[in-house]
């Protein structure tokens, strides 16, 4: 026993140590960030350096010289800081005892040199066991579980004859069973891990070995190797870029695996190494030395130096490709491996796989510890009592029952020794209060529930056929207790597809699809089904619409409920009106582009000038680049919004063909037009607009697109009507959650432009306050614009996201969105998925950069919340009174729990750094937890995990993190439950997750149906399980009073060993698998049914005590009623019936019957399996009794048969059952009848509906939409690109292929007929990044 507790204490201590370590990591990370920000050249770029990837090709080349010293400085000046980071990281992420690395030195192409440092290999291992160590290691791990160890101790005790009150078999059989089942499961899990490890390790990569390119597996790649990467391949390790196929050593990568963003990022190698090209000989003889920082988890930071030819070249993040990136638009590139395997930033960011336990597991451990104490105290009681008995009676009874030879013969000592031995004997007899089969049964139930999740067709995403998958089978019931959901945005809430959805041109709105029959607008969902927008007639809002009812999406695939919707699709008439416009006459059209409003094509066909100008603007005013891919024109944009706009223009016949630094070529309705590009006034966060100035046929024109508020300020006077209509459309678009942009243009006077251009140049080259001056210059020319219209882009939400969020919110789950997006985009998405609504009282935005400012903002918001809460409290009371006056039972839509619209919090990543510091984290959490929704934008993967951890630590709430990208991995691993969105390209999130689903909306069913059921079942199961074990075991305790506390068992040892295994396990297992109080449809329809899980109401210490007490009383009745009946009992022929075997058999039989009847009362969903198991286990009991006693020849042979031959047995049984069941029935009936829960009511309703179903064929389901859903946002919204465009690259000409390629880059195998060779210069040295033109 003592060992048990020590073990637990050790575990606790380790936990604390882990926590301490973690907090150190956090704090060192925090210290680290401001240091980085100091090295920043200009405050405006702050965002990019901290959270972004710092991937702006433009500012790198030019500032190299300036930056190098600052970048290198920290490595040398503050080595302790680094070592502390590394030390903590080392502790956190890998337990290896490697010496702490302070600086990494690598010589490319010199394996001997690199080998001395013993850097981590690129081999990745997540598996735990090997074939050889499996049995010892797995057994060792299993015996670390308290319960298993406890039973091992018991087994050892039973082997001692003096103590043994039961044969060892009674414990050995179940224990071996448990160990085997668990072992098999562990082995299977580890096999899966081995497989996925192998899959990754066996990926192929080209490595330069002895001057030759060789194909190697990823696992064989080592630090210092030069590897060749090709287009669309994953990068195998963190590498230093040496040379690429693209001009100027640029290469493009997609980082969706790392941060979830799919847009391209550019990286650029050192100009010196770029010259290598793909000359393997030159690369193979490259003999520099790289010195860089040790491995760390910061994705956007790299410090290092390349010493080569007696020169030091500073290296920064811009020259590093990270493992997990995919090479795009780059034929090939070469790089030196810097970090491999577990040292890569990807792995460093993925955190350690932690064994997750559910809160019920923890409670169970606690309870079992409690039971052990209870058991020990019972044993102690029996010990004392036994001592007394032996002293008073036992020692005299020695004439008939001498003491054992090892017991001292003198009375006091002998009694003491016997009493001491009895302690252990009772520990064995009563050990069944700690049920060994509990753990196995729990695992079996969870496994079945996991299969049920995997099988559920309603969780299957039809278009891809991807099922939900429970990857961890031990967390199911926790799904029913989620209080916080942390969601990624891109790819999780949204499809990560931007589509050109609607537009307003010259006061005319295009893009709506109207059902000509009903006048309702239609909407298409992701799977291509048409859905009628339901417009609430009573609503005063024009756009108040509901999409699919919440459960229709679920039933879409299986239920008969939505037949009408299917009809909509198949209806020929609807097809005609919902046919997308035919654009096939345009050779450049993309088949994936869909637009349904024929009015726009009609207008274009009619050569409507505004429409033409509108699309011409879209084709011209952008920083997108084109390329030819297998003869198909493709666009590359920094932001998906821009790509969507340019692609829309292309599909409507205004095709952007190509660009040079000073020209843009488009094809307008088939005729090629070339424009001279005079200036790009690029986008940034402050300007929120971009313009191009173009010249064609001598006319200079400025095209501008930007946020509506910004454009409206700069419009020429006198377009009031147009402005009004456009604004109306903008409002409408924004209300639908679309991202809007205004388009405008302006003709420029040639002379004025020359003048302006001169001043612009002046500003551009000035060294002092350049940004400000440029802004002012831009401001000057971007005015008096003529409004053209507005575009509306849909950042397509996944299907059902708003409904899911709304429903989950009603269920009481708080949803936090953590996204790498910038603030505006995040807010926009917040509105479109109903996280933010207009009826919210206030939306707090925290965007400060310093600790004190963040603190001020937080305190201010806290005050505000307090004020509102203080004033609104009495109002709520009042409103309750009015409701009750109006009459009870009337449906009221208002939610009493939410007197106001609540608050929302939006916090930026750089503020989060401070908000998460130990000093402010509680303040932050206090504010955040009072808000209905929280959006964290511009957060890094680690910050996501820290936020989750913060809530986990302070709120004692169950958290769920959902995401799809590698950037969500740390968050997924940190949260109690991690959900990965599968079906996307990257698998990192799914692999790290506990559950994977194809779509965000499946969370609704996963939580509200599966989670709720799992929790409900598990709790019911546990309550019953403890009840039946207490009822069973405590009979021995009562018997102790009659057997001189000698640890004589009441029951047959055989019965004891199989009671849990055979007689009572099946019905309760069936309960744990099949039980449902409320069906799936109603579980979703009434989300409040989720609240018992949130409140931990179905199984907690109190419920346990109740079950234990129930078991205690049951055992009491079970023992004493037969005692009363059989005391001095005799049969009809006078034979004595009060022998120990008969009495034991009678009690055992009644016990089995009683617990079976009890499970009948508990089962509320009787499937045929329940019938089979319940009746079956009763029949099985009698059969097995007969078989064991009469066929095998058990000790108790004849006892039960004799007892059952007498009427006494039946009278006793009936009495016992009635006495035990009546109070239970009465208690339950009272609560159902007088205080029914929602669950009871819904059950009642279900039965009522089933009765009514036959009578009412046309049953109009009255749905009461939530307050949240019924209101749509009316506001002026805008959103724009994630990032600054490629403007600088374009105008500097860096990106363009030089006319005469250098010899080294000769053999890049690309033909480019789309790219006119109009480049004036072959740019060798990159132009200064800050000069625009």
Give the footprint of other proteins on residues 551-580 (CB under 8 A).
558
Q: Which is nearer to other proteins, 486 or 1045 (CB)?
A: 1045
Which residue in 1184, 1147, 1154, 1156 sits closest to 1054, CA to CA? 1184
Q: Does 1197 bind other proteins (CB under 8 A)?
A: yes
Q: Does 1207 bind other proteins (CB under 8 A)?
A: yes
Which residue in 31, 4, 14, 7 sits closest to 918, CA to CA? 31
Q: Which is nearer to other proteins, 23 or 1167 (CB)?
A: 1167
Pick the binder of other proteins from 42, 80, 1211, 1302 (CB under 8 A).
1211
Q: Write the binding mask 991 to 1030 for other proteins: x where contact by CB under 8 A, - elsewhere.
A: ----------------------x-----------------
Which residue in 506, 704, 525, 765 sits closest to 610, CA to CA? 506
Pick the binder of other proteins from 1247, 1259, 1302, 1320 (CB under 8 A).
1247
* SS3 assignment, position 890: coil
- In the complex, minimum distance from the CB of residue 1232 to other proteins, in angstroms, rounded to a whole number: 5
Pick the binder of other proteins from 53, 252, 1143, 1280 (CB under 8 A).
1143
> At what angle are helices 359-389 and 1012-1040 packed, to 10 degrees?
0
| Contacts (CB under 8 A) with other proteins, residues 375-404 | 393-394, 396-397, 399-402, 404
Q: Supply the DSSP string of 240-285, one letter for each residue.
A: EEEEESSGGGEEEEE-HHHHS--SEEEEE--HHHHTTTT-HHHHHT
* SS3 assignment, position 774: helix
- In the complex, minimum distance from the CB of residue 1134 to other proteins, in angstroms, rounded to a whole number: 4
Spatial distance between the Cα atoms of 113 and 702, rounded to a whole number of angstroms: 59
- In the complex, minimum distance from the CB of residue 545 to other proteins, in angstroms, rounded to a whole number: 18
Q: Does 1219 bind other proteins (CB under 8 A)?
A: yes
Q: Which is nearer to other proteins, 162 or 380 (CB)?
A: 162
Q: Which is nearer to other proteins, 3 or 404 (CB)?
A: 404
Q: Which is nearer to other proteins, 131 or 399 (CB)?
A: 399
Pick the binder of other proteins from 87, 103, 771, 1131 (CB under 8 A).
1131
User: Looking at 670-678, 828-836, 927-935, 1229-1237, which segment touches other proteins (CB under 8 A)?
Assistant: 1229-1237
β-bridge partners, 667: 655, 672
Spatial distance between the Cα atoms of 441 and 23, rounded to a whole number of angstroms: 37
Local structure of residue 521 (DSSP, 8 states): B
What's the token pair of residue 389? Answer: 């008995």
Q: Does 631 bind other proteins (CB under 8 A)?
A: no
| Pair 480, 449: CB distance under 8 Å | no
Spatial distance between the Cα atoms of 854 and 856, rounded to a whole number of angstroms: 5
- In the complex, minimum distance from the CB of residue 267 to other proteins, in angstroms, rounded to a whole number: 48
| Contacts (CB under 8 A) with other proteins, residues 1154-1193 | 1164-1170, 1190, 1193
Pick the binder of other proteins from 695, 814, 1243, 1294 (CB under 8 A).
1243
| Pair 406, 418: CB distance under 8 Å | no
Pick the binder of other proteins from 631, 887, 1134, 1309 (CB under 8 A).
1134
Which residues, 6+ apart, have CB-to-CB distance to 1044 below 8 Å? 386, 389, 390, 393, 394
* SS3 assignment, position 771: helix
| Contacts (CB under 8 A) with other proteins, residues 1056-1095 | 1074, 1076, 1080, 1085-1089, 1091-1092
Q: Which is nearer to other proteins, 578 or 1100 (CB)?
A: 1100
| Pair 1117, 1035: CB distance under 8 Å | no
Burial class from Cβ neighbours inside 10 Å (0-12, 13-18, 19+) for residue 1261 reads exposed
Spatial distance between the Cα atoms of 978 and 990, rounded to a whole number of angstroms: 9
Size of the site for other proteins (CB under 8 A): 118
Which residue in 1216, 1221, 1290 sits closest to 247, CA to CA? 1290
User: Looking at 269-277, 849-857, 940-948, 1220-1228, which segment touches other proteins (CB under 8 A)?
Assistant: 1220-1228
Q: Which is nearer to other proteins, 287 or 1264 (CB)?
A: 1264
Q: Which is nearer to other proteins, 309 or 1133 (CB)?
A: 1133
User: Looking at 199-207, 271-279, 991-999, 1043-1051, which segment touches other proteins (CB under 8 A)?
Assistant: 1043-1051
| Contacts (CB under 8 A) with other proteins, residues 452-481 | 452, 455-458
Q: Write the binding mask 876 to 915 for other proteins: x where contact by CB under 8 A, - elsewhere.
A: -------------xxxxxxxxx------------------
| Contacts (CB under 8 A) with other proteins, residues 1101-1130 | 1121, 1123-1130
Q: How many CB atoms lie within 10 A of CB 24?
A: 17
Q: Write the binding mask 757 to 796 for other proteins: x where contact by CB under 8 A, - elsewhere.
A: ----------------------------------------
User: Looking at 603-611, 846-854, 911-919, 1213-1221, which segment touches other proteins (CB under 8 A)?
Assistant: 1213-1221
Spatial distance between the Cα atoms of 596 and 501, rounded to a whole number of angstroms: 9
Spatial distance between the Cα atoms of 1183 and 669, rounded to a whole number of angstroms: 87
Pick the binder of other proteins from 473, 1212, 1270, 1292 (CB under 8 A).
1212
- In the complex, minimum distance from the CB of residue 999 to other proteins, in angstroms, rounded to a whole number: 19
Longest dimension (CA), the chain: 130
- Beta strand 977-981 pairing with 995-997: parallel
Which stretches within 308-358 are classed as H helix? 345-350
Specify whether 488 is catalytic: yes
Which residues, 6+ apart, have CB-to-CB distance to 580 below 8 Å? 594, 595, 596
* Residue of 488, 597, 795, 799 marked active site: 488
User: Looking at 357-365, 620-628, 822-830, 1037-1045, which segment touches other proteins (CB under 8 A)?
Assistant: 1037-1045
| Contacts (CB under 8 A) with other proteins, residues 104-163 | 161
3-state secondary structure 150-176: HHHHHHHHHCCCCCCCCCCHHHHHHHH
Per-residue CA distances from 523 to 596, 740, 1277 (Å): 10, 19, 21
| Contacts (CB under 8 A) with other proteins, residues 154-193 | 161, 165
| Contacts (CB under 8 A) with other proteins, residues 1289-1328 | none
| Pair 937, 490: CB distance under 8 Å | no
Pick the binder of other proteins from 354, 517, 585, 1235 (CB under 8 A).
1235
Q: Which is nearer to other proteins, 11 or 1195 (CB)?
A: 1195
Over its C-alpha atoms, the chain yields an Rg (Å, rounded) of: 37
Q: Does 549 bind other proteins (CB under 8 A)?
A: no
- In the complex, minimum distance from the CB of residue 388 to other proteins, in angstroms, rounded to a whole number: 14
Spatial distance between the Cα atoms of 90 and 463, rounded to a whole number of angstroms: 43
Q: Which is nearer to other proteins, 160 or 457 (CB)?
A: 457
Q: Which residues are catalytic?
A: 488
């Amino acid at each position: 026993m003592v060992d048990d507790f020590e073990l637990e204490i050790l575990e606790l201590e380790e936990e604390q140590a882990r926590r301490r370590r973690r907090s150190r990591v956090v704090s060192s990370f925090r210290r680290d960030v401001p240091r980085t920000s100091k090295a920043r050249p200009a405050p405006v770029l702050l965002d990019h350096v901290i959270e972004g990837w710092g991937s702006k090709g433009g500012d790198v080349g030019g500032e190299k010289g300036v930056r190098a010293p600052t970048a290198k400085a920290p490595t040398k000046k503050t080595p302790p800081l680094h070592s502390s980071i590394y030390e903590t990281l080392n502790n956190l992420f890998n337990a290896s005892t490697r010496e702490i690395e302070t600086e990494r030195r690598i010589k490319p192409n010199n394996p001997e040199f690199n080998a001395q440092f013993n850097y981590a290999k690129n081999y990745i291992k997540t598996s735990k066991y090997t074939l050889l160590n499996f049995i010892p290691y797995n057994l060792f791990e299993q015996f670390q579980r308290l319960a298993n160890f406890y039973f091992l101790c018991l087994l050892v005790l039973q082997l001692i004859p003096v103590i043994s009150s039961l044969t060892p078999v009674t414990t050995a059989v179940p224990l071996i069973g448990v160990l085997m089942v668990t072992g098999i499961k562990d082995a299977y899990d580890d096999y899966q891990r081995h497989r996925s490890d192998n899959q990754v390790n066996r990926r192929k990569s080209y490595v330069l070995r002895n001057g030759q390119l060789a194909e190697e597996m990823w696992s064989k790649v080592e630090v210092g190797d030069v590897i060749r990467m090709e287009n669309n391949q994953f990068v195998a390790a963190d590498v230093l870029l040496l040379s690429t196929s693209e001009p100027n050593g640029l290469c493009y990568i997609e980082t969706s695996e790392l941060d979830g963003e799919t847009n391209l990022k550019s990286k650029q190698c050192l100009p010196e190494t770029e010259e290598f090209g793909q000359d393997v000989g030159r690369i193979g003889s490259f003999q520099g030395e790289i010195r860089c920082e040790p491995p760390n988890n910061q994705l956007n930071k790299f410090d290092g130096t390349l010493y080569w030819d007696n020169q030091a070249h500073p290296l920064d993040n811009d020259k590093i490709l990270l493992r997990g990136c995919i090479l795009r638009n780059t034929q090939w590139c070469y790089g030196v491996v810097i970090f491999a395997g577990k040292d890569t930033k990807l792995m460093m960011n993925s955190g350690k796989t932690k064994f997750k336990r559910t809160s019920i597991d923890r409670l169970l451990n606690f309870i079992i510890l409690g039971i052990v104490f209870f058991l020990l105290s019972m044993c102690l009681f029996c010990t004392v009592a036994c001592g007394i008995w032996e002293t008073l009676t036992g020692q005299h009874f020695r004439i008939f029952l001498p003491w054992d030879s090892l017991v001292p013969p003198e009375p006091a000592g002998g009694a003491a020794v016997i009493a001491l031995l009895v302690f252990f004997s009772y520990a064995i007899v009563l050990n069944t209060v700690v049920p060994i089969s509990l753990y196995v049964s729990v695992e079996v139930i969870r496994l079945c529930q996991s299969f049920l999740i995997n099988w559920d067709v309603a969780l299957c995403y039809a278009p891809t056929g991807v099922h939900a998958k429970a990857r961890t089978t031990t967390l199911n019931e926790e799904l029913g207790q989620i209080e916080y959901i942390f969601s990624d945005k891109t790819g999780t809430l949204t499809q990560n597809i931007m589509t050109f959805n609607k537009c307003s041109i010259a006061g005319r709105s295009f893009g709506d699809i109207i059902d000509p029959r009903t006048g309702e607008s239609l909407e298409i969902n992701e799977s291509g089904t048409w859905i009628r927008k339901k417009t609430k007639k009573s609503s005063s809002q024009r756009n108040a619409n509901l999409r699919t009812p919440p459960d229709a999406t679920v039933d879409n695939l299986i239920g008969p409920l939505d037949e009408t919707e299917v009809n909509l699709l198949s209806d020929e008439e609807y097809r005609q009106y919902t046919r997308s416009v035919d654009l096939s006459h345009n050779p450049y059209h993309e088949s994936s582009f869909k637009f349904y409003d024929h009015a726009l094509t009609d207008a274009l066909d009619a050569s409507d000038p505004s429409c033409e100008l509108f699309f011409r603007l879209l084709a011209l005013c952008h920083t997108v680049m084109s390329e030819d891919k297998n003869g198909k024109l493709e666009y590359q944009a920094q932001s998906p919004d821009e790509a969507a706009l340019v692609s829309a223009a292309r599909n409507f016949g205004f095709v952007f063909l190509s660009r040079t630094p000073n020209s843009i070529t488009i094809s307008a309705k088939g005729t090629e037009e070339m424009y001279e590009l005079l200036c790009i006034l690029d986008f940034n966060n402050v300007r929120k607009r971009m313009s191009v100035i173009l010249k064609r046929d001598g006319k200079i024109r400025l095209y501008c697109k930007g946020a509506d508020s910004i454009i409206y300020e700069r419009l020429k006077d006198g377009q009031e009507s147009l402005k009004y209509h456009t604004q109306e459309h903008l409002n409408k678009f924004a209300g639908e959650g679309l991202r809007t942009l205004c388009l405008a243009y302006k003709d420029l006077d040639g002379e004025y432009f020359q003048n302006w251009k001169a001043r612009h140049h002046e500003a551009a080259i000035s060294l002092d306050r350049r940004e400000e001056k440029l802004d002012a210059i831009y401001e000057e020319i971007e005015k008096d614009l003529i409004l053209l219209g507005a575009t509306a882009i849909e950042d397509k939400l996944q299907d059902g996201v708003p409904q899911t969020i709304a429903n989950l919110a009603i269920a009481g789950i708080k949803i936090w969105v953590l996204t790498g997006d910038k603030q505006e985009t995040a807010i926009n998405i917040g509105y479109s998925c109903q996280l933010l609504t207009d009826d919210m009282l206030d939306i707090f935005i925290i965007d400060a950069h310093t600790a004190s400012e963040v603190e001020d903002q937080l305190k201010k918001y806290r005050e505000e919340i307090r004020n509102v809460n203080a004033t609104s409290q009495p109002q709520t009371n009042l409103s309750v009174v009015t409701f009750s006056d109006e009459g009870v039972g009337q449906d009221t839509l208002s939610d009493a729990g939410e007197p106001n619209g609540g608050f929302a919090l939006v916090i930026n990543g750089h503020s989060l750094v401070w908000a998460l510091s130990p000093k402010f984290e509680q303040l932050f959490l206090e504010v955040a937890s009072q808000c209905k929704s929280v959006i964290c934008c511009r957060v890094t993967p680690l910050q996501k995990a820290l936020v989750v951890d913060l809530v986990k630590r302070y709120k004692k709430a169950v958290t769920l993190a959902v995401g799809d990208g590698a950037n969500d991995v740390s968050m997924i691993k940190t949260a109690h439950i991690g959900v990965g969105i599968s079906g996307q390209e990257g698998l990192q999130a799914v692999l790290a997750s506990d559950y994977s689903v194809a779509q965000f909306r499946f969370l609704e069913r996963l939580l509200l149906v599966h989670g709720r059921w799992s929790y409900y079942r598990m709790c019911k199961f546990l309550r019953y399980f403890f009840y039946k074990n207490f009822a069973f075991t405590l009979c021995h305790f009562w018997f102790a009073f009659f057997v001189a506390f000698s640890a004589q068992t009441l029951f047959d040892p055989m019965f004891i060993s199989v009671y849990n295994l055979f007689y009572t396990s099946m019905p309760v297992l069936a309960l744990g698998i099949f039980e449902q109080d409320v069906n799936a449809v109603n579980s979703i329809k009434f989300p409040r049914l989720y609240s018992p899980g949130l409140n931990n109401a179905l199984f907690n210490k109190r419920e346990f005590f109740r079950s234990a007490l129930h078991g205690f009383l049951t055992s009491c009745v079970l023992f004493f009623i037969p005692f009363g009946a059989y005391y001095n009992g005799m049969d009809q022929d006078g034979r004595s019936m009060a022998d120990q075997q008969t009495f034991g058999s009678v009690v055992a039989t009644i016990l089995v019957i009683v617990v079976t009847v009890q499970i009948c009362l508990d089962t509320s969903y009787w499937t045929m399996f329940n019938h089979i198991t319940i009746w079956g286990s009763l029949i099985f009991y009698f059969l097995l009794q007969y078989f064991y006693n009469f066929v095998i020849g058990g000790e108790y042979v004849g006892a039960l048969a004799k007892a059952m031959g007498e009427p006494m047995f039946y009278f006793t049984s009936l009495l016992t059952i009635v006495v035990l069941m009546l109070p239970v029935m009465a208690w339950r009936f009272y609560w159902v009848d007088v205080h029914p829960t929602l669950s009871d009511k819904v059950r009642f309703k279900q039965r009522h509906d089933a009765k009514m179903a036959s009578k009412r064929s046309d049953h109009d389901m009255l749905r009461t939409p939530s307050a949240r859903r019924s209101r749509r946002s009316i506001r002026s919204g805008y959103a724009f690109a994630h990032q600054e465009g490629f403007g600088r690259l374009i105008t500097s000409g860096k990106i363009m292929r030089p006319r005469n390629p250098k010899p080294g880059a000769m053999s890049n195998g690309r033909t480019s007929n789309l790219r006119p060779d109009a480049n004036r210069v072959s740019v060798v040295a990159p132009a200064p990044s800050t000069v625009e033109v």
